[in-house]
Chains A and B, each alone.
Chain A
Amino acid sequence: MSGSLVVVAKNSAEHKKWKYVQWAYLAGFVLLTPLVLEPFEIGKMNRALIMGVAILAVNLVVGFNGMLALGHSAFMGIGAFVTASMVQDENWDYWQVIPIVVIVGFLMGVIVGLPALRVKGLYLALVTIAQAAVFPTLVNIDELGIAKRTGGPNGKGVSEEVIAPSYLEWLPGVDGARGGSAYRFWIIVLMVGITLLLVTNYLRSRPGRAVLAIRDNEAGAAVYGVNLPIVKTMNFAISASIGSLAGLMWCLDKGFVAGQDFTFLLAVDLIIGLVLGGVGTLQGGLVGGLFVVWVNDLTKRISVPLGLYTLNGDGPLAKAIFGLILILFTFFAPGGIVSLGRLINNKLIHIVPLTPSGESIEPMSGFDPGMESTRADTAMKLSIAGPVLLGVGWLLMNVNNLVVGVLAFGLRMTILLAPVAMLVGINELKAHADGNRPDSVKGPASMARNLGALGFVFVIGYALQRFVQTYPIWDIPLI
């Protein structure tokens, strides 16, 4: 395949290796988050994951079922308030509330969905936006004891703190002062993982395929025997219950819930995350959540020193940037960040499916010598990118305090890229020694190995320094 760096057969050893590398990256990212980041940054990460789950819920309706439902902030709010009320007023544990929240969310989804799904397209968008707009005022109703349960305009705080039990203190990052947010991070990661697994399986199941069929061709799906109202309503209700679950996680993370947190603006944030991440992709939600939260954070840091206004913590610049990004993405990358990622992925690796007898469907003759040296070249560039970014970030930080974020970004790039560059370099050198590579590979490959190793050593050193900072070993009494 032209343009791809590497061509491998599906399910071959190389393909599996590639998959393991991807999983290792993910695991490394998750593992490093509570170890490297500051407590407030872990909090941001939690927030991003929660937004990710909520965006996944929106995606289930918008991306996978083709219905424009934009009011999931209300379902999040319902989940959050039910959780706050049960934990604070009834002294339940958070995990005991999960089934209640899921069931309540599901029922609310059915109640809203049954009438709402009768209308189509933009009309549905209107109805659901109305739902999002009215929710913050609904929690203030005095009747039926609603205001007592929700705390009315003052919001509701949960006094019970989420602290790791002693048998879970071995979790990375869960210790001492910043244990709280790290422990919540692990709970949220667990819940996100389970939710993703369930949603993946749901979409592969019979009702899931019916949902996709409705999106692709509603009339066609009906002709093939899909019960449109039931499948749509069930899908909407499942999405609502996932949204409520995100609300539960919100309450667990923040320990405080107010109607003003779940306004129309949150619904807009969810849509932005959906579009930026990728409509109709499973990963899109999480990517979008990360993006929304971190861009908000970054623009806030930039706007304050520049003397720009900040509204409730988010710079208005954040909103302008989001608006701009939203328009640009709609024009130039309708598939969101995930589609861009896939584009890059396709440049790196092309996976050729095999026939049952084991022959490749496309010719696998992509291994021309020129390609081999470009592989080493790319590895070298990968190894350089991280440190260069780091250096630039350091310079910028000294020149101007505004761009703190770039440093953090460079550090993260080094953490991710350096080991890989080192491994690729070593691998290529070994192949060269075996006589499988032309001599032109040698220079770039050894450079990749050396620079990668340097970055790797730096990362280890940094981690050690952080470790020592957090766990001052010389303070431990030896006797």
Chain B
Amino acid sequence: MDLVLLLQRIFDALFNSAIYSSLALALVIIFRSTGLLNFAQGEMATFTAYIAFVFLSGPQPRLTGGGLAGLVPGVPFPIPLAIIGAVICGMAGGAVTERALIRPLGRAPDLALVNITIGILLATNSLMAQWWGTGPRMFPAVFPSGAGQNFTILGARLRYSTIGVWAVLLTVLVLLVLLLRHTRTGLAFRAVSISRSSAELVGVRVGPTLMYGWALASGFGALAACLSANSVLLEPNMMLRVLVYAFAAATLGGLDSPKGALVGGLIIGLSQTLIPAYVPFIGFELSVLPALIAMVAILLVRPEGLYGTKRIERV
């Protein structure tokens, strides 16, 4: 086995892993607080990537769909500002979604919640196709990722963009942990995710707390979409495939564990690149297969995932 090639493949896989991890984190945050799987997470993220695209491209109606950018003074933005703007828009969108569509349902059966998120998925997807067209768009690279822009470690190339994505992901993760551990909102959020009714009884305002949760999750999704939009090309269905991997990652790590989401994303990203490379039976066409098989296998042994909390039901 060629060690350099192996290292190179691992380095290549790390970029995707970071994207899967951050989308999985978004799923986990929502699952922990609201107890529902947000099937629309990917589409909401793609939408914010389009918003960043609008910020970036300035007032060109043909390109940006109905001159939406005309509403924003001072466009085009530089890339970091555009992404921050998109993340803020995404957070607002997540909060509004929670307030308008999820909270009125209250404690509804699982199927109802799944329906709502699938409804959002379909509506957002078609709106994007309507406004920005179905063709792929060139989204500028956030970090330098051209030829030669890399470190060389033991003969394998580690791109700057991979390092950049991981740096962003880890920074945001540290911020998230600080937020959860050391602020009042974070405390309320943790209380709500442990027991909603008890938190309500001791006076935590559950509604706004959940809204923060949704905002955070959508922010994570937006970040993931903006960072990956260059490599997977911006188009309405961009995140659908990524979402399947993110689901697998979140399930693998345990749906209620942020650490699990990170580890799950790594495992899925690596297996997606490495298994087709070393198992001749599985071509790159089927790279989704090992991830899903891993997910099912882990669910069979540990239905709560690698790091998830075991659920005990009282009858």
Contacts and interface: CB of A to CB of B under 8 A. Distances in A.
B285 A140 contact: yes
B127 A320 contact: yes
Contacts of B37: 122, 125-126
Given A119-B303, A320-B127, A327-B116, A133 B288 contact: yes
Given A133-B292, A137-B286, A62 B122 contact: no
Interface stretch (B78-86, B106-114, B155-163, B182-190): B106-114
A305 to B, nearest CB: 15
Contacts of B118: 268, 271-272, 323, 326
B105 interface: yes
B105 A326 contact: no
A: contact size bracket: 35 or more
Interface residues of B, number: 46
A137 B288 contact: yes
A130 B120 contact: no
Nearest to A328: B119
Interface in B83-130: 101, 104-105, 108, 110-112, 114-116, 118-127, 129-130
A331 B244 contact: no
Interface in A120-166: 120-123, 125-127, 129-131, 133-134, 137-138, 140-143
Interface string A317-350: 1111011111101110010000000000000000
- Please report whether the interface of chain B is mostly helix, strand, loop or mixed according to DSSP: helix
A323 B114 contact: no
Interface in A390-435: none
A331 B129 contact: no
A308 B283 CA distance: 37
Contact of A323 (B36, B126, B244, B288): B126
Interface centre among A70, A130, A142 (most CB of B within 10 A): A130
Contacts of A219: 315
Contacts of B299: 118-119, 123, 127
A193 interface: no
B235 to A, nearest CB: 11
A274 B31 CA distance: 24
Nearest to B35: A122
Contact of A120 (B111, B129, B303): B303
Given A119-B299, A121-B110, A331-B104, A316 B292 contact: no
B120 A308 contact: no
Contacts of B115: 271, 275, 326-327, 329-330
A309 interface: yes
Nearest to B315: A219
B134 interface: yes
Contacts of A317: 126, 130
Interface stretch (B48-56, B169-177, B206-214, B247-255): B247-255
Nearest to B300: A115
Contact of A322 (B122, B130, B134): B122
B26 interface: no
A330 B109 CA distance: 11
Interface in A326-378: 326-327, 329-331, 334
A188 B243 CA distance: 37
Contacts of A325: 119
Contacts of A121: 110
A279 interface: yes
Nearest to A217: B315
Contacts of A264: 240
Interface centre among B112, B123, B127 (most CB of A within 10 A): B123
Contacts of A319: 122-123, 125-126
B105 A331 contact: yes
A141 B119 contact: no
A9 to B, nearest CB: 36
B251 A137 contact: no
A323 B105 contact: no
A320 B240 CA distance: 16
B18 interface: no
Contact of A134 (B114, B289, B300): B289
Interface in A97-125: 115-116, 118-123, 125
A68 B109 CA distance: 11
24 contacts: A62-B111, A68-B114, A115-B296, A118-B303, A119-B300, A122-B36, A122-B255, A123-B303, A130-B244, A130-B292, A133-B244, A133-B288, A137-B288, A140-B285, A143-B281, A316-B125, A316-B126, A318-B126, A320-B127, A320-B130, A323-B120, A326-B119, A327-B120, A331-B104
Given A122-B110, A129-B247, A327-B119, 7 more contacts: A62-B111, A125-B114, A130-B247, A131-B292, A137-B285, A264-B240, A268-B122
Nearest 7 pairs of A and B residues by beta carbon? A323-B123, A323-B122, A316-B126, A326-B119, A319-B126, A327-B119, A320-B126
